[in-house]
Amino acid sequence: MPPLVLVLNGPNLNLLGTREPATYGHETLADIAALCGRSAEKLGLKIEFRQTNHEGELLDWIHGARARCAGIVINPAAWTHTSVAIRDALVASEVPVIEVHLSNVHAREAFRHHSFVSPIAKAVLAGFGSHGYHLALEHFSHTLKG
């Protein structure tokens, strides 16, 4: 069985493609899901790709990852900068986490420079656009499959 990696996306990422294209590009979330699907197949991983605008739903998905998933790739979007609950859920899951941002959050407004997730993540990728998701999956393929 290939290792299962959860790819989770937070609020407003369903609007990609039309949302601030100068910052986030023209790719839609469906494009990124397809890219992740192709990467996973090539890398020998199984993925579940999800997005929500409801924090409780994201928490439930993270809780469900415990003992079921080998890795979590997460773009927590705005909750990166606000949510202790998401950080605590990720810690409780005991699943290795890679945090991904499409944009380079450190080159943007000061309120985006702090992340509640980064200190508990295995790695952080910011500014690679959708390629960041591929890089995160590549890393999990490398580490999970030895």
Q: Residues annotated in the binding site for substrate, as ranges?
A: 75, 81, 88, 102-103, 112
Q: Is 77 in the site for ligand DQA (CB under 6 A)?
A: yes
Of 83 and 93, CB closest to ligand DQA: 83
Q: How far is Cα of residue 24 from the mean position of the Cα atoms in its chain?
A: 15
24 assigned to active site: yes
Shortest Cβ distance from residue 109 to ligand DQA (Å)?
8
Q: Which long-range contacts (CB under 8 A, 24 or more apart) does 32-36 make?
A: 32/130, 32/133, 33/7, 35/130, 35/133, 35/134, 36/7, 36/133, 36/134, 36/137
Of 5 and 126, CB closest to ligand DQA: 126
- State the amino acid at position 129 in one-letter form: G
133 assigned to active site: no
Among 25-33, 55-63, 85-93, 100-108, the segment contacting ligand DQA (CB under 6 A) = 100-108
Residues 101, 133, 134, 139: which is the catalytic one? 101
Q: How many CB atoms lie within 10 A of CB 41?
A: 12
How many residues make up the chain in this entry? 146
List residues with catalytic annotation.
24, 101
